[in-house]
Amino acid sequence: KNQVEQSPQSLIILEGKNCTLQCNYTVSPFSNLRWYKQDTGRGPVSLTIMTFSENTKSNGRYTATLDADTKQSSLHITASQLSDSASYICVVGDRGSTLGRLYFGRGTQLTVWP
């Protein structure tokens, strides 16, 4: 069964600190892995997309890593800001269909305190 598991479920950090979010998946055949940021009451916004040949990708203070062998990914946020408070969703795409089906994790709810 294709699944995406994220940890921790929620996380509270102080402004300026770094944090790392984890994602494990069982989606096969694997095509790509994405991290989205979803603010409360809004739609998800893409942060990074990685294919199986990429093991790291950065977008400003966000750095995602991918280990396709162990089927794990992480999202590292450096020098956190209050605006980073959001749900971070790991999404894995398969290449078994022309639709490019996506499998979503439940997200990690990050709260940044001043």
Beta-strand ranges (E) seen in the chain are 4-7, 10-14, 19-25, 30-38, 45-51, 56-59, 62-67, 72-77, 86-94, 102-104, 108-113
Q: Does 22 bind another protein (CB under 8 A)?
A: no
Closest CB 90 distance from another protein, rounded Å:
10
Closest CB 15 distance from another protein, rounded Å:
24
Q: Does 82 bind another protein (CB under 8 A)?
A: no
Tokens of 68: 């396709």
**Binding positions for another protein, rule: CB under 8 A:** 4, 31-32, 41-46, 49, 51, 89, 93, 98-102, 104-107, 109
